Amino acid sequence: MKKIWIIFLFIISQLVHSQVKKLYSPLENAEQKIDSLLSVAQKENKFVLIQIGGNWCQWCLRFHQLIKETPEIQNIINKNFLVYNLNYSKENKNEELLTKYEFPQRFGFPVFVILNQNGVKIHTQQSDYLENGENGYNIERVKNFLEQWSPIMLDSKTYQK
């Protein structure tokens, strides 16, 4: 009887686990998805923020949670960026795209790549500079990173008198 309960609990946990939406999708055509985001970015005068990582990455999930739970960061992102979570896992390392973006995985995960509206990589940000010790991210550092790489900050008109 004990074995039956263990098997039953295992099956239930697998069903529940499979129903949870994953942040990163190994099966998604990432290049196609980024191209469609770039089309929208051009129309909305936004940049594309690519968060590279995987569902296996605790710090990737923490960053996503920070965005969801911090209205100030949500506002900065909504105003300036379209966000894409680019999968890196044993199922799909997206090696062609990472080569195109000059191997950002060398900085660990998550790592952030910012593309302008034309798809040109303008910045790669390793996440450890945004962390706050061992338990999460520093909100002020994250805000500063996002604001400093926003479209308005890279627009020459911002600095003309």
- Domains in the chain: boundaries: 22-154
Fold annotation for 22-154: Glutaredoxin (3.40.30)
For the CA atoms of 145, 84, 135, 106, the dihedral, rounded to the nearest 10 degrees, stands at -80
Q: How far apart are CA 80 and CA 140, in angstroms?
A: 17
- pLDDT by residue for the chain (161 residues), tens only, comes to 666 656 655 555 554 444 446 899 999 999 999 999 999 999 999 999 999 999 999 999 999 999 999 999 999 999 999 999 999 999 999 999 999 999 999 999 999 999 999 999 999 999 999 999 888 999 999 999 999 999 999 988 888 87
Q: Give the angle 95-120-36 at the CA atoms, nearest 5°.
A: 75
Q: What is the DSSP letter of 126?
A: E
Tell me the pTM. 0.86
